[in-house]
Amino acid sequence: MLKIEGVIPPLPTSFDQNEELAPAKIKSNIKKLSRYNLSGFLILGSNGEMVMLTHEEKIKAYNAAREAIEGDKIMLAGTGGQSTRETVLLTKEAAKAGADAALVLNPFYYKGLMTKEALVEHYSAIADSSPVPVIIYNMPANSGMDMDAGTILAIAAHPNVAGIKDSGGNLAKMGQIIAGAKPGFSVIAGSAGFLLPALVMGASAGILALANIAPYQCTEIFESLRKGDLETAKKIQHRMIPVNTSVTRQWGVPALKYAMDCLGLYGGPPRKPLLPLEKDARSALKAMLEENNLKID
């Protein structure tokens, strides 16, 4: 079973000024971030504006990322769709492009019908047909659904389901999953806002928007804890919480892209209906980056 460990940034998808996919910019960002001690990259997660891309664009993004990701780093690919059929097809395309695992957000349009039985059957069908391991993605802020521990553990029993990225931040539920899942199952923190407490609880990794703009700080939290230096890990965690909030819940993808532009990476525009960050927010975010001495070498 694939074990996910360490820190992985969910890459924003690069668009040019006409909002056309810019594969060369995706590759450039990966090359620059690969200088840090990151475990790999996620292409087309929530920060990758996956829902804004066509099927063909998704395949192009997978291939661009795979070409740039070094052999010692893993590639995770977001493949979750609203139908089981769509998700199966996209998961196979991601595997064909060279993804090491597929990150599958649960269907959410028909929320009232997404029962435990429906979700277990959905994920089981994907895992049965997938050439690569499947990782469950629980993202209540975007999906409007928060899968409970019982549902997640039932899905996790499938031999080709290797882990979960949980962005809900419910540490008690995370502990239930860690305690109840099969050996080797990876529980992954979905936000830098609760990375350290999740790791202390037994999570093995973090897929963190913040790692796109603070890769050193995010990996230092992980490495400091692994070395037994909890105090250093706590200091960095506390310092990064406001920065993380600004590029996630407060201003979201447009803020993350603007921060990348400020730091010498390529952020570029979001795709409409998302709008670029407003002037006052840009000034506040830039000041926050400078105050925390964030930079990409």
Whole-number Å distance between alpha carbons of 60 and 84: 22
Whole-number Å distance between alpha carbons of 117 and 41: 31
Whole-number Å distance between alpha carbons of 67 and 75: 10
* Sheet containing 134-138, strands listed edge to edge, beginning at the edge strand earlier in sequence: 6-8, 205-207, 186-189, 161-166, 134-138, 101-105, 74-78, 40-43, 10-11
Shortest CA distance to 177 belongs to which of 223, 221, 217, 135? 135
Shortest CA distance to 188 belongs to which of 175, 209, 206, 168? 206
Q: Which two tokens stand for residue 225?
A: 């804890």
**Residue 165 is a catalytic residue:** yes
Place of tokens 């990794």: 205
Catalytic position from the list 25, 165, 173, 257 = 165
Helix ranges, 98-229 (H): 116-129, 140-143, 149-156, 171-180, 195-201, 215-226
Whole-number Å distance between alpha carbons of 214 and 36: 10
Task: For the beta carbon of residue 68, count every other beta carbon within 10 angstroms.
Answer: 22
How buried is 154 (Cβ within 10 angstroms: 0-12 exposed, 13-18 middle, 19+ buried)? middle
Cβ contact 119:147 at 8 Å: yes
Whole-number Å distance between alpha carbons of 156 and 175: 14
State the catalytic residues: 165
